[in-house]
Every structure is written in C-alpha cells, then in structure tokens.
Amino acid sequence: MSRIAAAFARARDEGRAAFIGYLTAGDPDADSTVRLAGALARAGADVLELGVPFSDPIADGPVLQRAASRALAAGTTLESVFEIARRIRETAPMALVLFSYVNPILRFGSAAAASAARSAGFDGALLTDVPPEESGELHPLLREAGLDTILLVSPTSPARRMVDAARLSSGFLYVVSRPGTTGARDRLPADLPRTVSRARRAARKLPVAIGFGISTPEAARAAARLADGVVVGSAIVQAAEPGGSRGERAVEQLTRALVRACRRDGTAS
C-alpha cells in the first residue's frame, strides 16, 4: 500500500475525510517551506502537495501566483524542490505529492524527473495541465518510478474524460470544485454534489478528493460529507504570507481547524 493509499485508509477508519494541504516550494525560501510543512504535520495534515513554482501558472489565482513569483525570485528550481522534499521527508510523516505544470518536468527530462521525485521522497505526482488525452508516456513513466498519479476532473468534464482520468489515477481522483482558477471562495458551488457523484461513478473504488475554493472550516465540513479527501491550498499559502513564526502559527492554527472540520461525526477531536 502506498503512503497516499494508507493516508486515505487511516482517515476512513477514523471517520473523517483525509486532509490535503498545499505549499509552493521555495516560498519565500527553502527553510520556510520546510518549517511550514512541519506546521501542517503537527496540525494533522495527511498529505502535502508541494508545488513547483512556474512562471506561467494559468490555473492559479492571485495568492498562488504571488507565491510562485516569490519562490522563483528566490531561485527555486525543480532540483530545489526535490531537496526541499528530502528535508520534509526526514521529519514529517505526511504523504508527499509533486504538484507541477508539465513544462518544468519536460525541461528536466520526464524519466529523470520521475526517478528524482521518487528518490526525494515523493509518493505521487499531479501534473495540472496534462489531461488524459495528452498523457502519452508521462503517466506510465511516473507509475514505473513508483509514484501514484493523480488527475483532475471538473464540473465540465464529460463522463468519458472522467473515466479516462480515473483509469490513469492511482492515488486519488482530484475533483476541481468549479471552473476557473484557484483561490479562496465564500461557499462551495451548488452543483458540487452532482459533480462528485459523477466522479465517484468514474472512480469506483479510487478515493475522490475535492479542491479549489475551500478556505473555511464550514466549506471543509461540507466537502468532507461528499468526498474522501479535502484539499486546501490558497488559504494556507495566504495564512503563511506574514512570514516567520507568525506565518507558521497562522498555518498551524488554520490547518487544525480545517482538519477538525473533516470529521464526519461532528466532534472536534
């Protein structure tokens, strides 16, 4: 059983949805990322998506765009991300997902990137701009390296694309809650239950997680009733923006509240 599968199984046994946090690697520097990952682990996060900063993040809203700009300004490269992952893996038990646009992977060399990611301690990979129809040899290379693969589906995905995405996924199927870019929202879309129901039919026994727009315990609680996992990115990155110990405390406090909200029995423990 992979570390990602084990995280979802543990959450299921504990009567909750798995909590998946996101950080942009190298924002504002490598040491800060490692400390923030520690804050997420202490707060009970099950999985960490570690984002590779990219100069043209077309799926990202303003918060993650700022984070990518800061990380790139600090000189963060894909090799840097692998080193950050090694440091996180030394102290944090969370499953690690390499979250990237495809360009940095192709520039590094797909097979070499897959091997390096696994050696660095990553358990899975999510390539945001590679749909099932264009996966080619990429996803098989990741799987051959021992990485779980995670694909995205959205409210606009037809049934065939959802089935194809689920077929290529081995960690979980990521349901984008709404069309558009990442970013905190006040509430979840009204059609989300229908989208998740469609995704579950395609995924069968594969876990389903919801992301994009979840920023509050109330939204996390609603998402946890629908899916096996809840993903929060922009809200965590925004909480970290003050930097230093203040940012770490804010991230840990927010994450604790979100993890508690993922319980399905209504308790806060």
Check which CATH number belongs to the domain holding 83 and give it.
Answer: 3.20.20.70
Confidence (pTM): 0.94
Residue 154 has pLDDT above 90, yes or no: yes
Is residue 154 a contact partner of residue 195, using CB atoms and an 8 Å limit?
A: yes
Dihedral, CA atoms, 228, 195, 2, 83, nearest 10 degrees?
A: -100
The predicted model gives 108-131 an average pLDDT of 97
Predicted pLDDT at 180: 53
| 124 compared with 265, residue with greater pLDDT | 124
CB-count burial class (<10 Å; 0-12, 13-18, 19+) for 42:
middle
User: In this predicted structure, what is the pLDDT of residue 190?
Assistant: 87
pLDDT of residue 188: 80
* Section 162-185 average pLDDT: 82
Residue 182 pLDDT exceeds 60: no
Domain that holds residue 95: 3-261
Question: pLDDT tens across 257-267, in order?
Answer: 999 999 987 55
Tell whether the model's pLDDT for residue 66 goes beyond 90: yes
With 70 as the cut, is the pLDDT of residue 139 above it? yes
Query: Is the distance from CB of 227 to CB of 221 less than 8 angstroms?
Result: no
Each residue of 215-255: pLDDT tens digit? 999 999 999 999 999 999 999 999 999 999 999 999 999 99
Per-residue model confidence as pLDDT tens digits over 16-44:
999 999 999 999 999 999 999 999 999 99
Locate 184 and state its tokens: 């905190």
- Please identify which of the residues 49, 148, 248, 252 carries the catalytic annotation: 49
Residue 269 has pLDDT above 70, yes or no: no
Would you say residue 92 lies in a domain? Answer: yes
Residue 234 resides in a domain? yes
Task: Name the catalytic one among 60, 123, 248, 252.
Answer: 60
> For residue 248, what pLDDT is reported?
97
Asked, for residue 267, whether it belongs to a domain, the answer is no
Q: What is the pLDDT of residue 179?
A: 58
229-232 β-sheet, strand order? 148-150, 124-127, 95-100, 47-51, 18-24, 229-232, 208-211, 173-176, 152-153
| Tokens coding 222 | 């609603």
Residue 159, in any domain of the structure: yes
86-95 average pLDDT score: 96
pLDDT given at position 60? 83
Helix or strand run (H / E) with residue 144: helix 138-144
Would you call 252 a catalytic residue per the annotation?
Answer: no
Q: Is residue 269 part of a domain?
A: no
Q: Considering the chain, what percentage of its residues have pLDDT values greater than 70?
A: 95
User: Stretch 101-108: mean pLDDT, rounded?
Assistant: 96
Q: Beta strands of 91-142 (E only): which ranges?
A: 95-100, 124-127
Helix 110-120 and helix 78-91, axial crossing angle in degrees, nearest 10: 20
Q: Domain tally for the chain?
A: 1
Contact 263, 224 (CB under 8 A): yes
pLDDT given for residue 1 in this prediction: 85
Mean pLDDT for the chain? 93
Is 117 within the bounds of a domain?
yes
User: For 153-172, what is the mean pLDDT?
Assistant: 95
Question: Is the residue at 182 inside a domain?
Answer: yes
Instruction: Please determine, for residue 149, whether its predicted confidence score (pLDDT) is greater than 80.
Output: yes
d(CA 252, CA 255) in angstroms, rounded, equals 5
Helix (H) or strand (E) segment spanning residue 19:
strand 18-24
Residue 90 a catalytic site member: no
